[in-house]
Each structure stands twice: as structure tokens, then as C-alpha cells.
């Protein structure tokens, strides 16, 4: 008997999901443990493995089709087995998507190829190269487009084909022709995947939390020297690693910033679980290094590099995305010197790190060049007041400017 494949519920907050890719296709053999599809949860894309052996008999949902968790999305059974899908109830989300697709199909229904079809020039879709070639050939854009239906958009090859098929097509005197109005080409990108998660998280944070951001400048001379001294052939130490190390130690003195909020109140967390904002092509993701305050610098640097690498390869586990208590986001590779980071809800604070720049200072009656960078601390003013937030930031700047006083290599 065919076994149902369900849209899994992979986190406590997940209500819907969608298949980003069917790794197995209908008719493919499936073994227990084989990845059969990739699903986008409310946190990350994860490959889902098969619990049954046989053949993927039937796929019920298409890629990128949003369905509720626990919906039947496919069947696995024996070769040749017939699956009765008539009893599978359609979900409201699926119905809406089907309606949208039908509407789109009607809208873009092919038009029979004929030069008698009248097309308004403003309705013509064509590539810039095709429009240029039409002008150079002295042709009428609407006529060429109408003759090439059902092509959804005119390309250079269509214009060349029109010339071959219509050698006697009327040529318009270019100087007297009405100029073709320029039409902007628009690429629509729907909210989906990681970009959708970022959008929802940012809107929730910005609309819920009263943000206040404090800025502080850091003299980076000692920190850069320490970075170079600690970097070896087997372990690269970065400014982000050092900042994360000092943040985890400074938070022990300022526990009010190592917290999460809810409707009921503030939860102060004993363990320092650092979120490391990581930029991907699809959007921003924040993997978490748990117990950062228990790790020495070398182990912390390895852990940060490990979760960042897994994030870029889409190999993070759900545990590595949960439980963050304080987030660090760095724009050190950019030219940005100040920014106001948005708090990673429901945490109460986030630290932004800018790029390093040179600054001239007068020291001992001499002008010296000093490398500096800026901290930007955004905090939830419901949970923290300005004075304790400033005290944390001041202490962090102090240890970063004199790191040899507190660094511990275990």
C-alpha cells in the first residue's frame, strides 16, 4: 500500500512550508534515508529524507507551492501501484495558488500567428537589442511583434525571422517614423525563501521594538596587532573573532543585555549564545554559537568559521539557528563607517561593527595615523535604559583597545 509523504513540521513556529526542489522525480527509486525533497521552513531550507522504500509514485505539489504542515505532498509505493488522490483534500493555500496560475495562463494565452492581429505599440514586450534592430531595419515594432506571436517577448532572432518570412513587408521611412516610446523592463521577485524570512523578521522587529542606537569609536592598533600575532598557518584569527570573544566576556558583567523578550517580560539568559549575522546571496541568516563564554579564543574562532561556512552551504541544523541571546553583525568588508542595525527579535540588543579606516590624531605633539572602527549598539529601550547600554559599550571599547590585559588563551 502506498505511503503518504507529508510536509514536515520542522520547528515549533512552522505553520507552512514549500518544496524548493524535488530531488527525486516521479518514478525514481527511493531507499530509506534518501533525500527526496528540499523544504523551506520558517528558518532554513532542509533536505527531507524518505522513511519508506519503493518508488516515488506521485508528486502532489509543485516546487514553490506553499502548503500547510502535515499536508500530503507525495506518495511512495511499489512499481506500478495506482494511487487514488481523489480523497486528498485541497488546502486553502493550494486553491489560491491554482487560481492565480489559471488567471496567468488565460492572460498569456498564445495568439495565432498572423499579421492581421492588431497590437498597440505600448503592449509590445521586446528586448532592447530587438528594439534597436527594428529601428535600424526601418520596421514597425507592433507589426513585427504581432507577426511573431505567440512569442511572449520579441528577441533579435524574431526580428531576423520576420525579415526572412516577410521580404515585402512595408518599410517605414525612419526619419518620419513615430519614435517608439521607451518601456522599462521590470523583473518581479516575489517574497520567498530566506528573503521572505528576513522581511518578516525585520518588520516584526522594527514595528515591535523601540530601537535606540549608540555609536562608539575604537582605536584598533592593539587589536590589529593581536590579530596578526595570533593568526597562524592553521588558524586564522579575524577582528570578528576577537570582537566576539570580548563581547562574550563583557556580557558576563552586563547580563541585562544577554536576554530575550516576550509579551510577559524579559528572560535573562545565563549562557552567552552569540548570533553571527551571515550574508548569503538569498538574504541574511544568523547562525548561533552556543556557550560562547565557555570557549577560548581558538575554539570560538573555529566555531564562528564553522557555522558561517555551514550557513553558506545550507548545512545548518535547526539547533544552530535557535536560542541566540546577542547578535553581532559586521560590515567590516565594506566602506560603511556608521549604521543602525535592527535587533534580531526577540533578543534585546545587537552590535554592529563597521569597516576600519585611518584617522589622524595628535599624540605627544606628533601627528600619528590611527586605524579605527566603530561599534553601533542597538538596544530594546523597553528592556534596557541608555545608561546601562552605554556602560556595556564603554567597557567593550576599553577591552578592545587594551586586549592584552584581558585576553586568555586556554
Element (H, E) at 224: helix 221-230
For CA atoms 315, 319, 321, 325, the dihedral sign is: negative
**Strand partners for 61:** none
Catalytically annotated residues: 381, 385
Upstream peptide bond of 83 is cis (omega within 30 degrees of 0):
no
Contacts 24+ apart (CB under 8 A), 66-69: 66/16, 66/17, 66/18, 66/93, 66/97, 67/7, 67/16, 67/17, 67/18, 67/91, 67/93, 67/94, 68/7, 68/15, 68/16, 68/93, 69/6, 69/7, 69/8, 69/9, 69/14, 69/15, 69/16, 69/17
- What is the DSSP-derived secondary structure letter of residue 303? H
CA distance 333 to 251: 25
Q: Where do we find the cell 524548493?
A: 20
Given a contact cutoff of 8 angstroms between Cβ atoms, the answer to whether 336 and 330 are in contact is no
**Residues of 283-294 as b/e, b for ≥16 C-beta within 10 angstroms?**
ebbbbbbbebbe
Torsion of CA 67, 15, 315, 237, to 10 degrees: 140
- What SS3 state is found at 27? coil
**C-alpha distances in angstroms, 30 versus 6, 56, 57, 76, 298?**
16, 7, 10, 8, 43
Among 218, 221, 207, 282, which residue's Cα sits nearest to residue 247?
A: 218
Are the beta carbons of 302 and 240 closer than 8 angstroms? no
Residues 6+ positions from 405 with CB-CB distance below 8 Å? 399
CA distance 55 to 28: 6
Amino acid at each position: 500500500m502506498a505511503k503518504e509523504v507529508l510536509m514536515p513540521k520542522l520547528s515549533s513556529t512552522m505553520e507552512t512550508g514549500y518544496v524548493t526542489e524535488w530531488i527525486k522525480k516521479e518514478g525514481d527509486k527511493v531507499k530509506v534515508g534518501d533525500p527526496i525533497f528540499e523544504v523551506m521552513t520558517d528558518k532554513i531550507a532542509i533536505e527531507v529524507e524518505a522513511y519508506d522504500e519503493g518508488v516515488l509514485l506521485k508528486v502532489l505539489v509543485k516546487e514553490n507551492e506553499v502548503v500547510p504542515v502535515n499536508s500530503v505532498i507525495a506518495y511512495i509505493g511499489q512499481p506500478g501501484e495506482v494511487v487514488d488522490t481523489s480523497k486528498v483534500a485541497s488546502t486553502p493555500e493550494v486553491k489560491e495558488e491554482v487560481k492565480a496560475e489559471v488567471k496567468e495562463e488565460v492572460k498569456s494565452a498564445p495568439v495565432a500567428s498572423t499579421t492581421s492581429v492588431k497590437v498597440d505599440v505600448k503592449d509590445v514586450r521586446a528586448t532592447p537589442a530587438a528594439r534597436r534592430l527594428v529601428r535600424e531595419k526601418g520596421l514597425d515594432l507592433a507589426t513585427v511583434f504581432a507577426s511573431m506571436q505567440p512569442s511572449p517577448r520579441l528577441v533579435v532572432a524574431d526580428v531576423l525571422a520576420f525579415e526572412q518570412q516577410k521580404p515585402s513587408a512595408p518599410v517605414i521611412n525612419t526619419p518620419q517614423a513615430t519614435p517608439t516610446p521607451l518601456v522599462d523592463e521590470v523583473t518581479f521577485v516575489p517574497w520567498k525563501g530566506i528573503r521572505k524570512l528576513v522581511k518578516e523578521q525585520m518588520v516584526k522587529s522594527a514595528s515591535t521594538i523601540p530601537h535606540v542606537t549608540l555609536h562608539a569609536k575604537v582605536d584598533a592598533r592593539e587589536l590589529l596587532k593581536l590579530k596578526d600575532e595570533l593568526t597562524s598557518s592553521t588558524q586564522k584569527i579575524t577582528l570578528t573573532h576577537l570582537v566576539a570573544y570580548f563581547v562574550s566576556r563583557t556580557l558576563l558583567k552586563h547580563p541585562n543585555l544577554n536576554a530575550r523578550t516576550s509579551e510577559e517580560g524579559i528572560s535573562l539568559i545565563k549562557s552567552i549564545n552569540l548570533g553571527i549575522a551571515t550574508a548569503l546571496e538569498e538574504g541574511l541568516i544568523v547562525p548561533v554559537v552556543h556557550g560562547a563564554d565557555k570557549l577560548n579564543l581558538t575554539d570560538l574562532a573555529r566555531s564562528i568559521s564553522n557555522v558561517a561556512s555551514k550557513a553558506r552551504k545550507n548545512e545548518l541544523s535547526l539547533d544552530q539557528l535557535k536560542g541566540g541571546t546577542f547578535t553581532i553583525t559586521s560590515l567590516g568588508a565594506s566602506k560603511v563607517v556608521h549604521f543602525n542595525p535592527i535587533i534580531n527579535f526577540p533578543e534585546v540588543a545587537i552590535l554592529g561593527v563597521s569597516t576600519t579606516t585611518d584617522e589622524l590624531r595628535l599624540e605627544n605633539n606628533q601627528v600619528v595615523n590611527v586605524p579605527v572602527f566603530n561599534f553601533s549598539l542597538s538596544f530594546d529601550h523597553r528592556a534596557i535604559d541608555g545608561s546601562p547600554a552605554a556602560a556595556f559599550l564603554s567597557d567593550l571599547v576599553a577591552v578592545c583597545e587594551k586586549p592584552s590585559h584581558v585576553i586568555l588563551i586556554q
